[in-house]
Amino acid sequence: MYSHIKKQDKEVFGAIAGEDKRQREGLELIPSENYVSAAVKEAMASSLTNKYSEGYPGRRYYGGQQFTDAIEMVAIERAKKLFGAKYANVQPLGGANANIAMYFALLQPGDTVLGMDLSHGGHLTHGHPVTYLTKIYTFVHYQMKNVETGEIDYEAMRRTAKKVKPKIVLAGFSAYPRELDYTKFVAIAREVGAIAVMDIAHIAGLIAGKAVRNPFDDGFDIMTTTTHKALRGPRGGLILVRESEELAKKIDKAVFPGLQGGPHMHQIAAKAVAFGEALKPSFKKYAKQILKNTKAMEKVFKKHGARMIAGGSDNHLILLDVSESFQISGAEAEALLDRAGMTLNKNVIADDTRKPMDPSGIRFGTPAVTTRGFKEKDCAQVAELMIEVLTKRNDATVEKARRAIKKLALTHPIPESFP
Ligand SMILES: *Cc1c(COP(=O)(O)O)cnc(C)c1O
């Protein structure tokens, strides 16, 4: 592998080789990351990166599309099957692009979106003031009613919806560990004449693997997602429409030419390959194991009396209040655990009293380690090591944990393919 780049460009080769080693020997606990198969990587590295394919299959602006059309059609068909959608747009370059295109498709400037509060788990693209989206649209947010159980305040959400008349009722999150009551979102959206959209970026793999509910089964109209998180595909975005042809047409126009130029066909080929993998029965086992592994970690933190936001987890991620549990900041915890070979991220927690760059929490999850074949006992061991490092914080403890983590990593190599 890399024989050409190694010969031609020592600088870039060195960094890629370093990253490969980092991934091999460390543990990836960032809940939005994963390890793709060699087949997905091959598609990403293919000649398709040379091709311009503006437009959609059968309706392109350039010639030479016999193979790109076939690839995009396969990706679309597999995405539809995977998520029970009637329409799919596989061209968004990432999750943020998918959301921006979705807004472009459904909103006029000045329109209102009702989404999850950022500090309660929502994503930047759900209306954080640092995004340009907030210059165009109005974002109003709902929150958890009870931070210790994770229950959303659906009553307040309904009252707000009736007052602000949103065009979109937006569900979805990057840092929320419970399952939402989808029927309530849909009921509120219907009541105020809004479109119900779920951004499933974090849990698309769990939905595809049928380990959690599919929001389409409860009547959501549209789902946006990334393809590179628990879904274990290449970096990219995807928009799914449950059944409305009218909405699907608007989405297609918004993605291209509304927002993007030429689609990244190498990435679309890799999405098709990853969707093919996710359609296999073994992916269902993978998705269920992610949940079991998170539960195993939750159990350890509970035993030690550590404070988890929402009291634990029903999905792939845990939000730990390290400020209260270990009298340490999120940034300090992130740095300490990084030294011990556990990669995760600091994260704001609901009603955080600390600053966003050094918040009170850390966020971590199990999709990547589950891909490596980790089972409950391995994840429990990781949680014990985390607690030991966060409690003792001395060099000897960090070094001991680093060795244990490296051993766990090396005995669970990143797989090249999935059964
Ligand atoms: C990750 C994420 C995104 C953004 O995806 P990118 O590919 O990083 O642009 C959007 N929404 C949610 C809920 C996410 O978790």
Model pLDDT for residues 320-348, shown as the tens digit of each residue: 999 999 999 999 999 999 999 999 999 99
Question: Are 274 and 285 found together in one domain?
Answer: no
Q: Relative to the CA of 32, which ligand 1 atom is closest?
A: 1
Ligand 1, residues 103, 125, 130, 168: which to mutate, most atoms within 8 A of Cβ? 125
Q: Is the pLDDT of residue 419 over 90?
A: no
- Ligand 1 centroid distance, CA of 96 (Å): 5
Residue-level pLDDT at 357: 87
Q: Which domain holds residue 359?
A: 10-31+281-411
Q: Sheet containing 237-241: which strands, arranged edge to edge? A: 87-89, 237-241, 222-226, 195-199, 168-172, 112-116, 138-142
Question: Are 85 and 191 found together in one domain?
Answer: yes
In this structure, which residue's CA is closest to atom 4 in ligand 1?
95
Residue-level pLDDT at 356: 82
Question: Are 240 and 307 found together in one domain?
Answer: no
- Ligand 1 centroid distance, CA of 231 (Å): 13
Q: Mean pLDDT score of the chain, rounded to an integer?
A: 97
Kind of pairing, strands 222-226 and 237-241? Answer: antiparallel
Q: Is the pLDDT of residue 408 over 90?
A: yes
- Ligand 1 centroid distance, CA of 239 (Å): 12
Among 220, 255, 278, the domain-final residue is: 278
Ligand 1, residues 97, 118, 226: which to mutate, most atoms within 8 A of Cβ? 226
CATH number of the structural domain spanning residue 221: 3.40.640.10
In this structure, which residue's CA is closest to atom 10 in ligand 1?
95
Q: Relative to the CA of 174, which ligand 1 atom is closest?
A: 15
What percent of the chain has a predicted confidence (pLDDT) above 90?
A: 98
Nearest to 334 by CA among 321, 326, 344: 344
In a domain, 2, yes or no: no
3-state secondary structure of 340: coil
Euclidean distance between the first and the last CA atom of the chain, given in angstroms as a whole number: 23
Among 223, 250, 278, the domain-final residue is: 278
How confident is the model over 218-250, as pLDDT tens digits? 999 999 999 999 999 999 999 999 999 999 999
Q: Relative to the CA of 228, which ligand 1 atom is closest?
A: 7
In a domain, 407, yes or no: yes
Question: Are 46 and 160 found together in one domain?
Answer: yes
Domains contained in the chain, number:
2
Question: Are 314 and 329 found together in one domain?
Answer: yes
Inter-residue contact 178 to 313 (CB < 8 Å): yes
How confident is the model over 303-325, as pLDDT tens digits? 999 999 999 999 999 999 999 99
Rounded CA separation 347/402 (Å):
22
Kindly report the length of the chain.
419
Question: Are 160 and 230 found together in one domain?
Answer: yes
List the catalytic residues: 52, 54, 199, 226, 229, 235
Inter-residue contact 342 to 33 (CB < 8 Å): no
In this structure, which residue's CA is closest to atom 15 in ligand 1?
174
Q: Structure pTM?
A: 0.97
Question: Are 366 and 348 found together in one domain?
Answer: yes
CATH number of the structural domain spanning residue 24: 3.90.1150.10
Question: Are 301 and 314 found together in one domain?
Answer: yes
**Side-chain half-sphere of 298: how many Cα atoms within 13 Å?**
22
Residue-level pLDDT at 402: 95
165: left (phi over 0), alpha (psi -120 to 50) or beta: left
Query: Which residues sit opposite 306 in a β-bridge?
Result: none
**Ligand 1 near 345 CB (within 6 A):** no
Residue-level pLDDT at 384: 98
Mutual angle of helices 95-106 and 245-253, in 10-degree steps: 120
How confident is the model over 354-384, as pLDDT tens digits? 988 899 999 999 999 999 999 999 999 999 9
Q: Is the pLDDT of residue 94 over 90?
A: yes
Question: Are 296 and 353 found together in one domain?
Answer: yes
What percent of the chain has a predicted confidence (pLDDT) above 70?
A: 100
Question: Are 290 and 273 found together in one domain?
Answer: no
3-state secondary structure of 131: coil
Question: Are 117 and 181 found together in one domain?
Answer: yes
Q: What is the largest CA-CA distance in the chain?
A: 63
Query: What are the strands, taking DSSP E only, across 232-303?
Result: 237-241
Inter-residue contact 304 to 387 (CB < 8 Å): yes
Question: Are 303 and 223 found together in one domain?
Answer: no
Q: What is the DSSP string of 18-45?
A: HHHHHHHHSEE--TT-----HHHHHHHT
pLDDT band for 272, please (50, 70, 90 cuts): very high
pLDDT band for 1, please (50, 70, 90 cuts): confident
In a domain, 159, yes or no: yes
In a domain, 5, yes or no: no
Q: What is the DSSP string of 315-338?
A: SSEEEEEHHHHHS--HHHHHHHHH
In a domain, 1, yes or no: no
Rounded CA separation 359/340 (Å):
20
Mutual angle of helices 395-410 and 330-339, in 10-degree steps: 60
Inter-residue contact 145 to 151 (CB < 8 Å): yes
- Ligand 1 centroid distance, CA of 400 (Å): 35
3-state secondary structure of 349: coil
In a domain, 293, yes or no: yes
Among 228, 244, 278, the domain-final residue is: 278
Residue-level pLDDT at 288: 98
